[in-house]
Amino acid sequence: MPAALYFELDKNELAQTMAIIDEFSEAINHGLDYEHDNETLADFRDRLSAIRDKARERNLKYYASHHEELITALQGAIRDIVRFAVLIGKQGVIYTADDWTYKFGELSPYLALLDEAERAKIFDYMNYAYDHKEQIFREEEEKDTLTQNTPAVRTITSRSRELKLETTRVGRIIFEREEKSGFSNEAFYNRTDDDMPEVFTGTHPKNRRKEIFTFVSLKIENLQQEGRLEPFDGEVLCSSISLYAVGNEYTSPDAIYRHMLGNKRGAKLHPQMREAILASLRRLRLTNIIIRAEQEIEAGYSKKSRYEGVILPNEVIEDETVSLNGENVRDCVHFLRNSPLYDYADDKNQISRIPVAMLDVPADNDKEFIILKGYLTRRYAEAKNSNSKLGNIIRYDSLFAYIGIDSGNRKHTKRIRDKVKLILETWKKAGYITGYEEIKEGRTIAKIKIKLPRKKFHTE
């Protein structure tokens, strides 16, 4: 019997397939000799093949122009293959190398639609899945054992159509790790009120020669074990606050990831990204921030002299399944209150809103690409804000430093520049910008200029 690749089938086709399989099993129970009754066996096989061939013809046509969705579907199919192999292994049937080759070979028509880099990604995932068979089996089994009799939490779930960006200088600096960027966040850790580093936040409105400084410190227990904040944590914070702002007291890593992708429907959170998001949520709830803004109060830039608390008050309901909006979810995230960093930005009128759809860029949304999108959306928001000192020209060396790559690595920097242009081209087609232009310094491509429409931008 040909094994079904269930991602190929729609709901009706899957039901038809399962009915034929059930009919086949029933025939065996009633004495069908499937080793010798070739005619009956051929009938079952032909009926199954007819369903799959029809589905495959439809899907190949669709996925030819929807590669990102295809990659997600293939990863799901690989997990199904691995799960089946482990399941029958527990029953004493061992998958041979030929069995693995045959099963993965069934994906070949779909792999042929992908380019070389995309195929390499799928092959890497095959190797990952093969090396982590038991883990994947446990994860997939957990999904099937979920029942509706699980603890229920607040079921209000709203899709945030906006990305809520705080654009303060403090908010930029605390997530920077690289010394070469000019300011590493290492200097802010575990300081007392008497030795908190100062951050330049502007000049006095009545005396432009007078500089305004704000004092910042970060504190976390077991710094060596938990690690310092990093740029990806900033993106998790931004999407979390955007979801919380529209009433999502409870959410999930899956919803945070979808928001990072521009509310992309059907985006599947793979295990590595789930762990990265959970690690960020942990750092954000363990890291305490103190912002002393006395000078900003005196200048009329802030409403409070001190902001203090963990950067993102949250708890993750681990080792338990909860019902969220009628759906059972793993690792439910409970937001306890707003972030003090966003309270500070709100009081300074430095929160900008942009359409979350700007994050929907057709690419492999790994950590680096998510950080890159976040950097560009902030610069876009700041450039559109007439009060911002940052213009619409971005230096590549500053961008490379923020991401944490060596500007001397020409292959890597070119790949980043190509990704920048992919993002900006997507925004151009959607009408968010009118164009972009790279600028050279000597023979080196040093900057990129974003051309903005004249329409005023909304800032809270």
pLDDT surpasses 80 at 331? yes
* Topology at the third CATH level for domain 361-460: Arc Repressor Mutant, subunit A (1.10.10)
Angstrom distance (rounded) from CA 14 to CA 1: 15
134-191: pLDDT as tens digits: 887 776 665 544 333 334 444 344 566 778 888 888 988 888 876 544 567 888 998 8
pTM of the model: 0.65
Q: Which residue has the higher pLDDT, 363 or 11?
A: 363
Average pLDDT for residues 345-354, to the nearest whole number? 89
Higher-confidence residue of 61 and 266: namely 61
Is residue 211 helix, strand or coil?
A: strand
How confident is the model over 273-290, as pLDDT tens digits?
999 999 999 999 999 999
The domains of the chain are located at 6-144, 147-359, 361-460
Q: For residue 260, what pLDDT is reported?
A: 93
- Residue 433 is predicted with a pLDDT of 93
289 backbone dihedrals φ, ψ, rounded to 5°: -120, 140
3-state secondary structure 142-208: HHHCCCCCCCECCCCCCCCCEEEEECCHHHHHCCCCCHHHCCCHHHHECCCHHHCCEEEEEEECCEE
Return the residue matching tokens 């705080």. 166
Where does the pLDDT of residue 79 fall: very low under 50, low under 70, confident under 90, or very high at 90 and above?
Answer: confident
pLDDT score, position 139: 67
Give 80-102 pLDDT, tens digit per residue.
Answer: 888 878 877 776 667 777 777 87
User: Model confidence at 458, in pLDDT bands (50, 70, 90)?
Assistant: very low
pLDDT surpassing 60 at residue 213: yes
pLDDT on residue 368: 93
pLDDT (tens digit per residue) in 101-129: 877 888 888 899 999 988 888 888 888 88
pLDDT of residue 457 exceeding 50, the answer is: no
* pLDDT for residue 46 is more than 80: yes
Please state the separation of Cα 180 from the chain's center in Å: 26
